[in-house]
Homo-oligomer: A and B are copies of this chain.
């Protein structure tokens, strides 16, 4: 006999991204007004952000009468690991955290990706809030609900889709970012321009230096446009069945080179190199003109990003690493390509990635 479990329901994961300056007090006011519905908070941050912003936020939350503990992971991409997830879980359990808590992530993409994953499986899911302190987190991690850790064999392959209760993009925090971190965030921003927002791309061609100078209007412009591009894509395909793959532009080579570099390359730097590889291969296929490809490279360079593969990278290892990409199907490499600037190439119904022979991309890599 067959017993049917009918489990159809409406899920509403709607949330707000608040973009502004110095949003610490707003966060605490929101928690007081019932954001997350919890009264005990695990503030998760890293060793860099702790002293800059997280400790203040943690103290403000306690001063508001809530229960709170702060948990600090070492800064850097290597913390995005199962071991660090376990460390946070054990630390939270030890401090008596159970299902009646919420997580407040304060930091960049590593912190928000990891803390969102911790929240998603702690007590089978507790609410979480992201307080993003980097341009990269603003560009990449704030929309889409992707959380994950890396493993020795693959980046971002262990994780879940988990939407926060709210995201704060505090543009003031970008002032304390080292230049290479601003550049890293710009890589994802330029990628967003390439794949879905020609206006954003051209705005950056006019104004990229203003971001480094901390120009308020320019920073707000890119924060908002990053959200809008990503949201437009994600809203149509939350689970990455097709369209969402376009966000992976530049990430096939990017993710692989990030790992092969053993994280000497920042995520954005790796994506910049991957975006160039994509544009060069795309030029061969006629998806972009030589002039468009040159504009992409030029903008990345003005954003102080690498557009060539560093000498210390083992190119054979890099090609092999491409096969750990999540777009791989039936053992075949698949790439997303921009179509000119501001659009992507569509290869079929709901299909935005093209199968590529290994030697085609190996040739591009050899030339870079």
Contact = CB atoms under 8 A, between A and B. Distances in A.
Given A2-B19, A3-B227, 14 more contacts: A1-B19, A4-B15, A5-B231, A7-B12, A9-B11, A10-B10, A90-B153, A93-B324, A96-B323, A98-B329, A99-B157, A120-B160, A121-B158, A124-B160
B158 A122 contact: yes
Given A121-B121, A124-B160, A99 B326 contact: yes
A153 B87 CA distance: 12
A157 B93 contact: yes
Contact of A12 (B8, B13, B89, B330): B8
A18 interface: yes
Given A121-B121, A121-B160, A11 B8 contact: yes
A11 B238 CA distance: 12
Interface string A114-157: 00010011111100000000000000000101101001111001
Specify which of A1, A231, A329 lies most central, judged by the most chain B CB atoms within 10 Å of its CB: A1
The residue in A14, A99, A121, A148 that gathers the most chain B C-beta atoms within 10 A of its C-beta is: A121
Nearest to A325: B98
A94 interface: yes
Contacts of A122: 157-158
A82 interface: yes
Interface string A1-38: 11111111111111111111000000000000000000
A14 B8 contact: yes
A93 B323 CA distance: 11
Contacts of A8: 10-14
Q: DSSP majority for the A interface?
A: mixed
A19 B11 CA distance: 30
In this complex, the interface size class of chain A, counting residues with CB under 8 Å from chain B, is 35 or more
A159 B323 CA distance: 29
Interface string A151-171: 111100111110100000000
A239 to B, nearest CB: 8
A98 B1 contact: no
A157 B121 CA distance: 8
Contacts of A77: none
A161 B330 CA distance: 29
A10 B8 CA distance: 7
Interface of A: 1-20, 82, 86, 89-90, 93-94, 96, 98-100, 117, 120-125, 143, 145-146, 148, 151-154, 157-161, 163, 220, 224, 227-228, 231, 234-235, 238-240, 323-324, 326, 328-331
Nearest to A161: B124
B3 A224 contact: yes
Contact of A7 (B2, B13, B121, B154): B13
A121 B120 CA distance: 10
A134 B94 CA distance: 34
Contact of A159 (B121, B145, B163, B329): B121
A326 B123 contact: yes
Nearest to A9: B11
Given A96-B331, A151-B90, A157 B123 contact: yes
